[in-house]
Amino acid sequence: MNERGRRRWAGARRAAASAQPTTPKPPLVRLAADLKAANAERTTWCESTRSSARRSFPKERRPENGHVLGYEAMALDVWCGREFTDRNRSRGWNWVPFYTGDLDATPDTDETVAARVARTYALGGDEKAEHADMLVDPVGTIAATAGTLAARINTYRVWRLEFFDEHSVRVDLTEEVNQVTKRARRLRHQQKVLGPQPQGELRSDDEVVRLYVEKATAIERAVGALYERLTALDSYCDVVASIQRRKNKYDYLARLNGIDDLELLVDDSMDRHETTQIREAASISDALAAV
């Protein structure tokens, strides 16, 4: 059989194989495969997005290993059931990284809230472990990424402009991080309640399998919706970055346009005239000295 014949024969075999009916996989097997693929896709995207966002921070604001920015710390605290407002609180005239004792009666102000979010926090031993667990959790990674994106948005200089308020397009980053993380925490709890797939004789019980697949699918839809909310925040971050780039260009051009071309022309003419005069004076001085 020549090469052409072999290719035709191989193609015919593949076509025949694809035409043969395949045995449908059991519902629990299909469910496990679908969940694994969805979790892997979301986790990969979250890891890539966090890495890209952190690399884009200005060097002076880029957190070191073992450190998190304000909104990242907020996501971690909410995920672990703590109060982010316990961080960076004043006690007398001293500032402490995390204070859970009796706080002063002095309430938070806009300045202290902004300072708490703007800070970089060094994670302790327990917090490092909690943060690591959060990042590898299929739902926790969504909340962690929301914190990183919010922190990146907060570092753009244009975020301080009234533009976003005047056009009613400012996203409340604190509210967004809180809502996304609280939702992620509830979904993780629901996943734990759902538990692993039924085993033994329950695995062959149609009613048990049907209800498990139904509940697992509902939870997965909710996780997918939360993930879509996260991608929307990522798109918003891209828009803020674009506005910052346009502002940078505008400021640069404004600075260049502030240079008066006529003034430069006058200065140039004056300098050339003075240069000629000085050279003539030097030449005359040299001639007179030689007499």
- pLDDT tens, residue by residue, 130-144: 999 999 999 999 999
Position 62 scores a pLDDT of 82
54, 120 contact by CB (below 8 A): no
Q: What's the length of the chain? A: 291
The residue-averaged pLDDT of 5-28 equals 63
Q: CB 33: neighbour CB atoms within 10 A?
A: 11
- Confidence tier at 20 by pLDDT (50, 70, 90): low
Are 92 and 85 a contacting pair, CB within 8 Å?
A: no
**pLDDT, position 282:** 65
CA atoms within 13 A on the CB side of 126: 2
Q: What integer pLDDT is reported at residue 269 of this predicted model? A: 63
Give the residue among 83, 246, 73 at the shortest CA–CA distance from 151: 73
Q: Which H or E element spans position 32? A: helix 27-55
Q: Is the model's pTM score more than 0.75? A: yes
Paired tokens of 38: 């969805």
Q: How far apart are CA 231 and CA 31, in angstroms?
A: 24
Nearest to 71 by CA among 126, 121, 14, 2: 121
| pLDDT beyond 80 at 198 | yes
Q: 91 has which bridge partners?
A: 94
The pLDDT, as a whole number, for residue 13 is 60
Over range 117-129, report the average pLDDT: 89
Q: What is the mean predicted confidence (pLDDT) over 107-115?
A: 76
Average pLDDT, the chain: 83
d(CA 214, CA 223): 14
Over residues 199-246, the pLDDT tens digits come to 999 988 889 999 999 999 999 999 999 999 999 999 999 999 998 998
**C-alpha–C-alpha distance, residues 146 and 232, integer Å:** 10
**CA–CA dist 97, 116 (Å, integer):** 9
pLDDT at residue 277 is higher than 50: yes
The alpha carbon torsion through 141, 142, 148, 154 (nearest 10 deg) reads: -160
Is 70 exceeded by the pLDDT of residue 89?
A: no
Please report, for the chain, how many H helices and E strands are present, in that order: 10, 4
Is the Cβ–Cβ distance between 110 and 11 less than 8 Å?
Answer: no
- pLDDT(106) > 60: no
Give 110 or 230, the one with higher predicted confidence.
230
The pLDDT of residue 2 is above 60: no
